[in-house]
Every structure is written in structure tokens, then in C-alpha cells.
């Protein structure tokens, strides 16, 4: 099994180029299934998750070509609306194909994802929303069987602005008869890009980037192309690395998607220079502890919660971090304890007492963002850190060791 080995305690400096957003490209790939022709996607990150989604598209019958960060998907040959457990269990985002497949074929069979590393992560909003569009949902051998003669527009209100449920319902409703209104919709930039992509294919979606999305159903979508937005979570991970360890310039970023992250980094004392598509961050002399509350966009993202926790272990006092999006996404904390961190967990709140300096140790990654936090902690710690189960990191970060090595980190992968 592969491991990442880090010799920590060295400063970082230099430039890093940010790739396309994983969580933007995955729903776009699913949406290509409702386009009867060629979808061209540029700036596709080469990740385990994008390759898993490409495999799933091939299983349902699409033609897929992925080369040099450019993806071509031919949706005209799709003929098998089935997403098997073997794939869905490795990546929950596979569930995104349910809405598009039932909208196009009137029936689809998609495995239920099951639990994940940090809790149950249900899909009830997706299913309830589809039912409101007239889809009959049954559970059959662990699979969701979705059937509908024709989807009918409806008024749908989510109890919580779920990213995945908003994406799934938008992709289904775009081909439904009549108007659909989604209230309490997600406003994440990745959902905004999905809606804009569908509009470029002839969809009629309004209220994009607001809590109320209106969709006027159309009969069909036409071939189109899109360039994936920069990954705000990869960018945030490198910004946090800069605040902890030196001076880093990020290029190919969208600073507007990182406002809450930038604000908090300024509050801890980091100096930031921001231009249209680059951000330079400089580590402060003294890292101030601050309390943050994780929330949906435009709040501080849950996908940067673990990395922030690692940063606060170096703060000059106690910091509190509360995750309101997930109640139990804290698997990185016992691993950080192994490196000497002083963190107490109370419900969905972590209390971090900064400055017992981290010391390298063997640790285990449990999910994509926890792995990123362990890499940051390893770079901050004195001595050698060995991170196992690194396949998690490859799901969401392209060439992360090479990017950190270019900044001066002593990090390598061992087979």
C-alpha cells in the first residue's frame, strides 16, 4: 500500500497552479447524459473521482475520451441507465446520475450509496424531490429504482440547501414538463456552474446563485462546451499551507469564491495580496487563534474544516471550530492527537489549544479532506510523518506531493 512520507518543519515558498474543481466537474459529467451529442469539458482535474465518474458514464453507454485535462463525452449512445454498487460505493457523487438518467429514459436503477467515513450522509432530499417531479421511487436489492412516464414540474422546498440534491433535481427538472421551483436551493459555485452549463445547452434556468431556482422544462438539450471553475478547496488548502509555513502564490484561482476563507486568514494575521486570478499569502509572525463556524456557501466551507483545524494547532491560544454542515466530520482529530495536538471534541465543535508543537508520527487518512489536513500537519510538524491510505487524497487532489515539493516541502510517496 502506498504511503506519503513527510519530513516536516521546513518553510514553503513559490508558486502553485490550482486545477479545475472536482465538485464542479462531477455534476457536469452526469449532466452530459441528458445531452444527445458531444459535451466538451476543459480543465478537468485528473483525479480518482473524475476517472470513476468517467467509468460510470461508459457503463451507462456514453463515449468518453479524457486526455490532457480535456474530456469529451458523447451522450448520444447512452442506453443502459444502471449505476452499479461497485462504483457508487467508492464515490457518493455517482448518485448524481439518477436525476439525468430518469429524466432521459423514464427509468433508472442506481445503487444507494450507503454510509461514508464520517456518518450516514442520507439521500432523502434527492428522492423526495424526484417524487415531487412525479418519479416513482422503490428500493430494490439496495438499488433505487426510479420510474416515470414523463417528469412534471413542481414546487420543491428543501429542509436544508443540499448541494447534491439541488444538482440532481436541477438535472431532472430541466427536461420536465412545465415549471419547477426549488426553494432553499444550494448556492455553491459548483451548482451555479452546473446551471450555467445546462443553460448553455439550451436549458431555461433562472435564479442561479440565489436560494430560489426556477426551471422551465425544455424538450431537449444541445451539445455544448464548458471550462471548469478553479477548485476553491484545493486553493483553500494551499492558502492554509501558506498561512502556516511561508509565502505562496496561487495562480488560476477565483478569489470571489474564497471570500470567507480569505477573511478568516486575514483575521489570524496572514497577509494576502489578491488580483483577478491570483492570491499571494504570507505567514504571520504570530498566528492568532480565531473561532469559526462552518456553514453553506458563502460561509466558510466544511471541505476546509480539517485543514483549518491543523492550522489552529499552531495558533497562540485556543480556537473553536463548529461544523454546522456535518455533525460528525472529525476523523482527522484522533490522528492529529497522535502528532501531539491538543484538541477536544464536543458534539460538532472542536476546541483546539494551539502550540504544543506537532511532532511527526505514523497516521492514517480517512477521507479526502482529512488527508489534506494530515499532509498540512506533517509539513508543520518536527520530524517524520508517514500517512497511510493515501488513495483518499488522490480522489480529490491532483499531484499534491509534486505541488508541495515545488514549494520546498520534503514530501514523497512510497510504494
Q: Single out the residue of 109, 232, 369, 392 in contact with ligand EPU (rule: CB under 6 A).
A: 369
Alpha-carbon distance values, 346 to 65, 273, 286, 328, 351 (Å): 47, 36, 27, 10, 8
3-state secondary structure of 318: strand
Q: Single out the residue of 4, 16, 25, 26 in contact with ligand EPU (rule: CB under 6 A).
A: 26
Residues 306-335 that bind ligand EPU (CB under 6 A): 325-326
User: For 177, how many CA atoms within 13 A lie in the half-sphere containing its CB?
Assistant: 8
144 touches ligand EPU (CB under 6 A): no
Q: Single out the residue of 396, 400, 407, 409 in contact with ligand EPU (rule: CB under 6 A).
A: 396
Q: Round to whole Å and give the CA distance between 134 and 233.
A: 36
Q: Give the active site residue among 116, 209, 296, 359.
A: 116
Q: Which three cell numbers stand for residue 124?
A: 432523502
Stretch that binds ligand EPU, among 115-123, 141-149, 241-249, 252-260 (CB under 6 A): 115-123
**Bridge pairing between strands 213-216 and 179-183:** antiparallel
Q: State yes or no: cis peptide before 298, omega within 30 of 0.
A: yes
3-state secondary structure of 28: helix
The answer to whether the beta carbons of residues 110 and 144 sit under 8 Å apart is yes
The partner residues of 190 in beta bridges, in order of sequence, read none
Q: Single out the residue of 123, 175, 244, 304 in contact with ligand EPU (rule: CB under 6 A).
A: 123
Of the pair 105, 158, the CB lying nearest ligand EPU is at 158
Query: Which residue is listed with cell 471548469?
Result: 228
Stretch that binds ligand EPU, among 135-143, 158-166, 211-219, 244-252 (CB under 6 A): 158-166
Of the pair 301, 360, the CB lying nearest ligand EPU is at 301
Q: Single out the residue of 3, 70, 121, 353 in contact with ligand EPU (rule: CB under 6 A).
A: 121
The answer to whether the beta carbons of residues 376 and 332 sit under 8 Å apart is no
The 266-305 site mask, x for binding ligand EPU (CB under 6 A), equals ------------------------------------xx--
User: Which single residue brings its beta carbon nearest to ligand EPU?
Assistant: 164
Query: Which residue is listed with cell 431532472?
Result: 172
Stretch that binds ligand EPU, among 69-77, 155-163, 210-218, 331-339 (CB under 6 A): 155-163
Q: Which three cell numbers stand for residue 332?
A: 482527522
242 touches ligand EPU (CB under 6 A): no
Q: How far is the CB of 192 from ligand EPU (least distance, A)?
A: 13
Q: Round to whole Å and give the CA distance between 303 and 312.
A: 16
Residues 159-218 that bind ligand EPU (CB under 6 A): 160, 162-165, 190
Q: Round to whole Å and give the CA distance between 366 and 256.
A: 30
3-state secondary structure of 238: helix
Edge to edge, the sheet with strand 136-140 lists 82-83, 107-111, 143-147, 136-140
122 touches ligand EPU (CB under 6 A): yes
Of the pair 121, 410, the CB lying nearest ligand EPU is at 121
Of the pair 27, 75, the CB lying nearest ligand EPU is at 27
Q: Got the DSSP string for 288-342?
A: ----EEE-STTSB-GGGHHHHHHHHTTSSSEEEEEESS-SS--THHHHHHHTT-E
116 catalytic per annotation: yes
Q: How far is the CB of 404 from ligand EPU (least distance, A)?
A: 19
Q: How far is the CB of 189 from ligand EPU (least distance, A)?
A: 11
Q: How far is CA 400 from the centre of its chain?
A: 16
- The residues carrying an active-site annotation are 116
Residues that bind ligand EPU (CB under 6 A): 23, 26, 92-93, 121-126, 160, 162-165, 190, 302-303, 325-326, 368-369, 396
Amino acid at each position: 500500500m502506498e504511503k506519503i512520507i513527510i519530513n516536516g518543519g521546513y518553510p514553503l515558498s513559490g508558486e502553485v497552479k490550482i486545477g479545475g474543481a472536482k465538485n464542479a466537474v462531477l455534476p457536469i459529467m452526469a449532466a452530459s447524459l441528458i445531452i444527445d451529442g458531444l459535451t466538451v469539458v476543459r480543465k478537468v482535474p485528473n483525479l480518482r473521482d473524475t476517472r470513476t465518474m468517467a467509468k460510470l458514464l461508459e457503463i451507462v453507454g456514453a463515449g468518453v475520451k479524457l486526455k490532457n485535462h480535456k474530456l469529451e463525452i458523447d451522450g448520444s449512445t447512452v442506453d443502459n441507465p444502471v449505476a452499479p454498487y461497485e462504483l457508487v460505493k467508492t464515490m457518493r457523487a455517482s448518485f448524481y446520475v439518477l436525476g439525468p438518467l430518469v429524466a432521459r429514459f423514464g427509468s433508472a436503477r442506481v445503487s444507494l450509496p450507503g454510509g461514508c467515513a464520517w456518518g450516514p450522509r442520507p439521500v432523502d432530499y434527492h428522492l423526495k424531490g424526484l417524487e415531487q417531479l412525479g418519479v416513482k421511487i422503490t428500493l430494490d436489492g439496495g438499488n433505487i429504482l426510479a420510474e416515470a412516464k414523463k417528469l412534471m414540474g413542481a414546487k420543491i422546498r428543501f429542509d436544508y440547501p443540499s448541494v447534491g440534491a439541488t444538482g440532481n433535481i436541477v438535472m431532472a427538472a430541466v427536461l420536465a414538463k412545465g415549471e419547477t421551483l426549488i426553494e432553499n436551493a444550494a448556492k455553491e459555485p459548483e451548482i451555479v456552474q452546473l446551471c450555467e452549463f445546462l443553460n448553455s445547452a439550451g436549458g431555461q434556468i433562472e435564479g442561479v446563485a440565489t436560494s430560489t431556482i426556477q426551471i422551465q422544462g425544455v424538450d431537449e438539450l444541445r451539445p455544448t462546451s464548458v471550462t471548469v471553475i478553479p477548485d476553491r478547496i484545493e486553493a483553500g488548502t494551499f492558502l492554509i499551507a501558506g498561512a502556516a509555513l511561508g509565502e505562496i502564490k496561487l495562480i488560476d484561482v477565483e478569489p470571489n469564491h474564497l471570500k470567507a476563507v480569505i477573511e478568516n486568514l486575514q483575521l489570524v494575521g496572514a497577509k494576502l495580496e489578491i488580483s483577478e486570478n491570483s492570491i499571494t499569502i504570507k505567514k504571520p509572525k504570530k498566528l492568532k487563534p480565531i473561532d469559526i463556524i462552518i456553514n453553506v456557501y458563502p460561509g466558510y466551507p466544511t471541505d476546509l474544516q480539517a485543514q483549518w483545524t491543523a492550522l489552529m494547532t499552531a495558533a497562540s491560544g485556543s480556537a473553536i471550530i463548529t461544523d454546522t454542515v456535518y455533525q460528525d466530520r472529525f476523523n482527522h482529530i484522533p490522528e492529529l492527537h497522535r502528532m501531539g495536538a491538543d484538541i477536544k471534541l464536543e458534539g460538532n465543535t472542536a476546541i483546539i489549544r494551539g502550540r504544543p508543537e506537532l511532532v511527526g508520527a505514523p497516521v492514517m487518512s480517512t477521507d479526502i479532506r482529512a488527508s489534506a489536513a494530515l499532509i498540512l500537519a506533517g509539513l508543520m510538524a518536527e520530524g517524520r510523518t508517514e500517512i497511510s491510505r493515501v488513495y483518499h487524497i488522490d480522489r480529490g487532489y491532483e499531484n499534491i506531493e509534486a505541488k508541495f515539493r515545488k514549494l520546498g516541502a520534503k514530501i514523497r510517496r512510497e510504494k
